[in-house]
Amino acid sequence: MNVQRVLKVVPLAWLGLIGLTGCGYSTARPFRTDIQTIHVEMFQSKEFRRELEFRLTEAIIKRIEMDTPYRIAGRRTADAVLTGEILKVENRTFGDDADTDRPREIGSTVIIRYRLKDARNGDILVDRPRFIYQTSHIPPVGETFVQAMTRALDGMAEQMVETMEVDW
C-alpha cells in the first residue's frame, strides 16, 4: 500500500503515531538562552506552619533541574536569582458530615510572591506579587493537610518554572 493511499484512509491525528510527521514543529520549551545558572534563595514565610518554605524551595529547585536547561548555582556565580515569600495559607471546609460533624473536603489556598532577577544587570525577568494556587484534600478517605500541601507546593513550583519560559 503506498503512502498516498494510507493518507486517505488514516485520520491526520494518527500520522504522528506512524512516523509520517516532519512539519518542523518542536515540543521543546523556549527558555532564555542568555541565562545558564539560577540561584534559588530560601523562600521566606509569614505563615506559622512548619517547613512550608523549605518544601517549596526544594520543589522549585527540583523542578528547575528536571524541566529547564538551567543549572542551580551559588549566589555569586548565578546569572539569575529567584526570591520569594509565602504570604498566606488558608483552609476552607466544603462540606461537613452530618453524623460526625467533621469536614468531608477541605480546600487549601496558598498565596506567594516571587521574583526572578537577572543578577548581571539587575533586570526583573519575572515578577509575580500575588501568585495563588489551590488544592483540596478529603479527610474521610485518609488524605491529610501535609499531602495537600505537597501537591500544592509541587504544582506551584511547576507553574513558576513555566513562567521562566520566554514569550513566543
Q: Where are the domains of the chain?
A: 31-162
Please state the rounded mean pLDDT for residues 71-81. Answer: 95
Alpha-carbon gap, residue 13 to 8, rounded angstroms:
12
Alpha-carbon gap, residue 135 to 140, rounded angstroms:
16
pTM score of the predicted model:
0.76
Range with the lowest mean pLDDT among 46-50, 81-85, 110-114, 123-127? 46-50
Mean pLDDT of the chain: 82
Q: Does residue 60 have a pLDDT over 80?
A: yes
The DSSP-derived string for 1-34 is --HHHHHHHS-GGGTTTTT---SS------B-SS
Q: Does residue 7 have a pLDDT over 90?
A: no
Contact 130, 113 (CB under 8 A): yes
Please state the rounded mean pLDDT for residues 139-152. Answer: 87
CATH number for 31-162: choose from 3.30.160.150, 1.10.3720.10, 3.40.190.10, 3.40.1190.20. 3.30.160.150
Residues in a beta bridge with 83: 115
Q: Does residue 105 have a pLDDT over 90?
A: no
Closest CA to 102 of 140, 143, 148: 140
